[in-house]
Structure 1
Amino acid sequence: MTEQRSFPRSVRLVSAETDLAQNGALLHAVSSAAGDVPALLALAGEAGSSWPKPGGGQTGLLWELLASVASVDVAAGRIFEPHLDAQAILAQAGHPQNERGGLWGVFAAEGPGSRLEARADGAGVQLSGAKPWCSLAPLLDRAIITAHTETGGRAAFAVDLRHPGVACEEPVWVARGLREIPSGTVHFSQVPAVPVGGDDWYFSRPGFAWGGMGVAACWLGGAVAVARGYRESLIAAAGRGREPDQIALAALGEADRILTSTLRYLGRVAEWIDGGVDTQEAGGSAWGEALRVRGTVAAAVERVLSLVSTNSGPGPLAFDEPYAKRMADLALYVRQHHAMRDDAQLGKLTLAGDGPW
């Protein structure tokens, strides 16, 4: 069952319906650039200089924009989000605007057999070693990268990816999802680095939690697009004389219930962040709330993917390229959620009294 194609639409999180039209030019640009990574990176660079920063009073608008971009093209959301996150991290660390130019990534993952170390020398700090999961590194100008320090902690550093000591592996990327965004290992050999905060600042700041929730906004935008496509396919089938049965309608109703409640929850959390609520008074920490948001959104995404795939059958996966791409992109992207391991983290916090109930 092939879904109807419609004009790009925003995902409404906090804005009035009448205010969403102003996103039209952006979403059309994203739609036109889908699949063209350099063009999408250029759009992300423009967004980085004008979009709100999390915690600055318009967090809901930021997440609404990220969700809207991902609803047009999941891969575009995956391209926009790290550049926006890098810009926010630099601002939180007090780096001036003139130090934030170019296209940025954020590389904080660890992996077996890979270790990146920061060592001080007479001229400052240098990075040596390997860093896994560096998406689009060959196409970026700079990145915020976490490395192990001489004191035994981990810290964030700003690095010029064009430095001759940086070597990007050609990733063996067999995934069917996010095929235009391969993630490989990058090797560093005595590469100068600028500290961004001190030891463990990167992980302890509230912005770490806010950034994790921004990723969840992208996941949710992709799920909205999946559900919209399913609804449009039912409308198209009815136009051909095949009215949806109760099973098809029940799937659409469940998807609506899940997405509506999750969008409203995300909007409330954005208000909580911007309100500067004391975490002790609110009964929870920023990271605890991030774990709740990411887990709730991931579960919503997984259920919507299952509902739509089950009720649409094999046809769209086999013959409808945009549908198949969106399903594969989103299924891979949401695996950034660590499932039961994240719930175990949340359970530990809850056991210690971190929770609103």
Structure 2
Amino acid sequence: MSSARGTYGRLLAGLELPLPGRGRTLARWRALAELTAANVVTGRLAEAHADAVAITTDLGAPELVEPGSHWGVWAAEPPRPRLYAAEAGGSWTLTGTKPWCSGASLCTHALVTATTDDDGAVALFAVDLRLPGVRAVPDTWPAVGMADSDSGWVELEGVPARRLGSHADYLDRPGFWHGGAGVAACWFGGAAGVAAPLLARAARPGASDLVRAHAGATATELGAGWAMLTEAAATIDADPDDRDGLRAARALAVRTRIDRLAATVVERVGRGLGAGPLCADGDHARRVADLGVYIRQTHAEADEAQIAAEVAARAEAGEDATTLWEAIIGFSPTGANAPERAPAADRPASTDDDA
């Protein structure tokens, strides 16, 4: 067991975030964005812990996440390596290897998915990582970006765990996508942190037009991104149970847009300020590297294709595609609700004042 277990416990003990979908989702996302703007790794680890609080609450076990603990959520399911769960006498144990574990040697507890021995299905478990039989595998996270997130493999050997539900219980609840959109708030915060030196330089007397052009474009990107997050948070709070069934499409739209925003901000800052901050400011260089890895949690164009595929499937089942797009975009792409335009013969001739 690593001596690093619980490193972030004190920070997280003071992190009291509103649960998503309860009326204060934007306040939750703002706090996560602010943490990530200050330090991308801290924001990423705090988001996972906050997600664990939301998940355990959704699944009827809010008492699991105790003050002073530090939880990870390890739900990646690649073909290998695999983690297996076995039941005996009503109790479960976990054996095998779990990859992509953010906070592998830092977390005190984790929510993990594992394949059950009885039927081969995937289920969700809560596990105390301080128990014997848990080992963070060295040299399985050689990354430069997000290096401090310690996202390597964890081996477990006969470790007791509590089964919280099936994989479907975890994935199919509306909160899964509330959390997925919340990750984008962290990406936004990381992008804002990357932008800070450019925005500061542009506000100084004598800043070049080039610097100010990149700063203006960057501020515009950030403003648009925050507006999208604000609207998404309001939609979640207005319909936390996802009555229209578009939670996945909306969350993916937010995630892919903020992913692209973050990449644009990194490029704008580099073009506006040159290599100087990347070479002379260690915090900035680390933030850029960390953010580049963090936003790759998206599946990029595959996620964007999923948005359209969901609309197409529902349209094939008889729903109106334009109405579905309007629900995702917030505006009808056909202008279907606009007043009918008068025929040309009934409209007054245009004047210079109309321009």
Both proteins in one fold, TM over 0.5: yes
Within the alignment, does 1:336 sit opposite 2:305 as a pair?
A: no
The match for 1:244 is: 208
CA distance 1:348–1:316, change in 2 (3 Å): same
Alpha-carbon contact 1:171-1:183 (below 8 Å) kept: no
The match for 2:221 is: 258
Within the alignment, does 1:292 sit opposite 2:253 as a pair?
A: yes
Within the alignment, does 1:174 sit opposite 2:142 as a pair?
A: yes
C-alpha distance in 2 between matches for 1:178 and 1:205: 29
Residues 33-74 of structure 1 deviation map (CA, whole Å, 9 limit, x = unaligned): xxx996644212321xx2211112211100010001111111
Is the deviation greater in 248-257 or in 57-66? 248-257
C-alpha distance in 2 between matches for 1:99 and 1:326: 29
- Which aligned pairs between 1:179-194 and structure 2 lie closer than 5 A? 179-194=147-162
- Which aligned pairs between 1:96-135 and structure 2 lie closer than 5 A? 96-97=62-63, 100-101=66-67, 102-135=69-102
Is the deviation greater in 198-207 or in 36-45? 36-45
Gaps of 5+ in 2: 315-323, 333-355
C-alpha distance in 2 between matches for 1:285 and 1:96: 27
The match for 2:60 is: 94
Residues 245-283 of structure 1 deviation map (CA, whole Å, 9 limit, x = unaligned): 2x32221121122111110111111111111266454xx
CA distance 1:255–1:66, change in 2 (3 Å): same
Alpha-carbon contact 2:201-2:211 (below 8 Å) kept: no
CA RMSD of aligned residues (A): 2.1
Q: 1:324 aligns with which of 263, 277, 285?
A: 285
Secondary structure of 2:291's aligned partner: helix
- Which aligned pairs between 1:340-351 and structure 2 lie closer than 5 A? 340-351=301-312
- Offset of 1:244 from its aligned partner? 1.5
Alpha-carbon contact 1:44-1:79 (below 8 Å) kept: no
The alignment-based identity, stated in percent, is 38
Residues 113-170 of structure 1 deviation map (CA, whole Å, 9 limit, x = unaligned): 2111222211422222111011222222111001123334322110111121222201
CA distance 1:268–1:174, change in 2 (3 Å): same
The match for 1:46 is: 14
Q: 1:219 aligns with which of 166, 187, 212?
A: 187
Residues 303-347 of structure 1 deviation map (CA, whole Å, 9 limit, x = unaligned): 111111122111111111121111111111111111112122222
Amino acid corresponding to residue 260 of structure 1 in structure 2: G
The match for 1:68 is: 34
Within the alignment, does 1:352 sit opposite 2:313 as a pair?
A: yes
Amino acid corresponding to residue 204 of structure 1 in structure 2: D
TM-score scaled by length of structure 2? 0.82
Alpha-carbon contact 1:117-1:147 (below 8 Å) kept: yes
- Offset of 1:112 from its aligned partner? 4.1
Secondary structure of 1:200's aligned partner: helix
- Offset of 1:89 from its aligned partner? 0.6
- Offset of 1:220 from its aligned partner? 0.1
| Structure number with bigger Rg | 2
- Which aligned pairs between 1:269-288 and structure 2 lie closer than 5 A? 269-276=232-239, 279=242, 281=244, 284-288=245-249
- Number of residue pairs matched by the alignment: 313
TM-score scaled by length of structure 1? 0.82
Residues 212-236 of structure 1 deviation map (CA, whole Å, 9 limit, x = unaligned): 1111100001111222221112334
The match for 2:43 is: 77
Amino acid corresponding to residue 145 of structure 1 in structure 2: V
C-alpha distance in 1 between matches for 2:83 and 2:240: 36
Q: 2:123 aligns with which of 155, 171, 174?
A: 155
Within the alignment, does 1:57 sit opposite 2:36 as a pair?
A: no
Residues 173-225 of structure 1 deviation map (CA, whole Å, 9 limit, x = unaligned): 33222222221111122222111223421111111111111111000011112
CA distance 1:141–1:230, change in 2 (3 Å): same
CA distance 1:42–1:197, change in 2 (3 Å): same
Amino acid corresponding to residue 162 of structure 1 in structure 2: R
CA distance 1:96–1:314, change in 2 (3 Å): closer
